[in-house]
Amino acid sequence: MINISKIIVCYFIVFKILQANEIMECKTQRQSGFHFLGKDYYEIIKFLGFRKFTISISRSRKDIIESQKEASRSSDNKKLANIKNVHFLELIVTNSKNYPNVFHCSWRHRANVDKISDNNYECIEQKDKKDLFSIAYNGKFSYSSTFKILKKNSGNTLHSIFGECKKIKM
């Protein structure tokens, strides 16, 4: 019975990834906190599957802005002030070992005030609500996590990786 539930979860994740509006490949460039685990911290990051990894994002900034414009055109008073300023989306981080981590994100964008490049997607991991992921318009990311598969980690210490993501052309 457990194997069936794992298969169903895998299909759900694959379905979500295929539905993604944007898929990006990310590369870790630096870290913070891993040196407390040992001098070979880049090997630890590689072991965890986060030297190179992918993210899939359910909604692009462009799509959100287009839906804002469409909503303003369809509203009776045509005021952009009534359009919401915070938008929610889902982001899935999949390490190089194909282990997915689902995040819920928010993006603050005020129509006619902010540029598309303003403000990061700010995300929190859904299962334990401890891990944080932030990504800017230019692809710069930060990922802070307990990386609980590390035996030396007490479970409360956050380690961070930083780098850059680039869109994968589909």
φ, ψ at 147 (rounded to 5°)? 45, 60
Question: What pLDDT, in 10s, does the model give residues 47-85?
Answer: 889 999 999 999 998 988 888 877 777 766 555 555 678
| Percentage of the chain lying above the pLDDT 70 cut | 76
Domain boundaries, the chain: 2-167
76 three-class SS: coil
User: CA-to-CA distance for 84 and 71, rounded, in angstroms?
Assistant: 10
Q: Which helix (H) or strand (E) holds 15?
A: helix 2-19
Q: Could you tell me which of 128, 159, 157, 121 has the C-alpha nearest to residue 143?
A: 159
Q: Could you tell me which of 136, 56, 146, 149 has the C-alpha nearest to residue 103?
A: 56
Question: What pLDDT, in 10s, does the model give residues 95-104?
Answer: 999 989 999 9
Q: Please report the pLDDT score of residue 3 as a whole number.
A: 58
Provide the 10 A C-beta neighbour count for residue 34: 21
